[in-house]
Amino acid sequence: MNHATLEFLRQRFSEYYRKGTLMTPPSLEQREWGFIFFDISSDVRMRRHMAFQTPDEAITYMRSMVPAHVYYSTAYYALPGAATMNDKIWSGADLIFDLDADHLMRGPYDTMLLRVKEETVKLLEMLIEELGFSEKEIYIAFSGGRGYHVHIRRSDIREWGSQERRELVDYVCGIGIDPSIMMKRPFTQAGWGRRYRRALATYLKGFRQLDREEAISHLRSLEGMGSRSKRPETLYDGLDDLIEALESGRRITLNDKILRILTGPGNSGFTTILHEQAARADEPVTTDIKRLIRLPSSLHGGSGLRVTPMAFGELHEFDPLSEAVVFGETDVRVDLAFPFSMPMLGTSYTLKKGENTVPEALAVFLCCRGIADLSEGGMSRRA
């Protein structure tokens, strides 16, 4: 990124921080803050261990310093400004789930955003329908990058350590399942029993697409099946019965050893299907009780998009590529490092390598992503 680009971004961000609606987290005086500033060097430095007493102080700081990234602690501390973590005196933390498309797929940005939204919807369903959290205590934000953050604030779980939080994140992610317990679970109600049996049925149905010999040889190749055993034949011949039992919720007579072979971690055919049933949140974020998270209402310096808080009911309709866009449509000339296309504010853009004239909002995005630099005199038309 060159100086002109950096200056352009800082000016745009400055305008947003002056005029935009900024929010601060509850219990602000107990939070630690961290900032990353626009800097020409590639060495990213965070100024952290900062604390503010009032929302005004925090907002004034952001307006005058114009940070590229703004974070606050999910944790509550007696002395959030202390220089070392031990001296801060931890007193609790919000419960966080982080969904990031990077963990789910590769592909065009807008496709990734759609995919991660589906994952967020799955997570919210589990949190509410199964785990019993209420809409009122759940706060959702588009991260400004490739995903969503879900914050849960509830006083009775605030002091939980990593161990307790892990129970929740393992639950939503489908980690640590005991297959034989799943086989005994009632199938009729929502939950892992049903998801697990459904995943196994889907996996087994795949074998019906193959002819007998092919299916048996595939089954035989599974780790632990044994090259001489008759198990694959027996399993194949009983496939219809088994699938029917899995889907109807009847008792399963599958022997434990075969069940473990089919569902073992080495069998990616099955684990992939199972993972689709889970809400794949980034586990370490939930179990980390001293994490910094992006401030909703701040800008993401890697995209120029707004970290956008939304009400529970708004997620379904939320389109980050228009609702998280805060900049305008003034023309700006940018120089692209490679051809690039994406939609923004309802228009699809197909840009060639080299010079292009694009709306300011897209220019900010491209420059933040490091895909483009401002062309010489790129902002001249603004004058």
Q: Which residues are catalytic?
A: 98, 100, 282
- Is 164 a binding residue for other proteins by CB under 8 A? The answer is yes
Cβ nearer to other proteins, comparing 87 with 241: 87
**Contact assessment for residue 105 and residue 276, using Cβ atoms and an 8 Å cutoff:** no
- Is 329 a binding residue for other proteins by CB under 8 A? The answer is no
x/- site string to other proteins, residues 68 to 97, per CB under 8 A?
----------------x-x-----------
x/- site string to other proteins, residues 30 to 49, per CB under 8 A?
--------------------
What does the alpha-carbon distance between residue 303 and residue 370 come to, in Å, rounded to a whole number? 9
Binding segment toward other proteins, per CB under 8 A, in 29-37, 114-122, 268-276, 279-287: 279-287
What does the alpha-carbon distance between residue 146 and residue 5 come to, in Å, rounded to a whole number? 23
Q: Smallest distance from the beta carbon of 155 to other proteins, in angstroms? A: 11
Taking alpha carbons only, the member of 167, 191, 261 closest to residue 222 is: 261
What does the alpha-carbon distance between residue 62 and residue 307 come to, in Å, rounded to a whole number? 15
> For other proteins, which residue of 7, 167, 214, 256 counts as binding (CB under 8 A)?
167
What does the alpha-carbon distance between residue 324 and residue 20 come to, in Å, rounded to a whole number? 12
HSE, side-chain direction, 13 A CA sphere, residue 317: 5
Contacts of 38 (CB under 8 A, 6+ apart): 6, 9, 10, 13, 66, 68, 301
Binding segment toward other proteins, per CB under 8 A, in 44-52, 124-132, 199-207, 360-368: 124-132
User: What residues from 140 to 159 belong to the interface with other proteins (CB under 8 A)?
Assistant: 156-157
Query: Which ranges constitute the DSSP H helices of 327-374?
Result: 360-369
Q: Which residues contact other proteins (rule: CB under 8 A)?
A: 84, 86, 129-133, 156-157, 160, 162-164, 166-171, 174-178, 181-182, 185-186, 189-193, 265, 283-284, 287
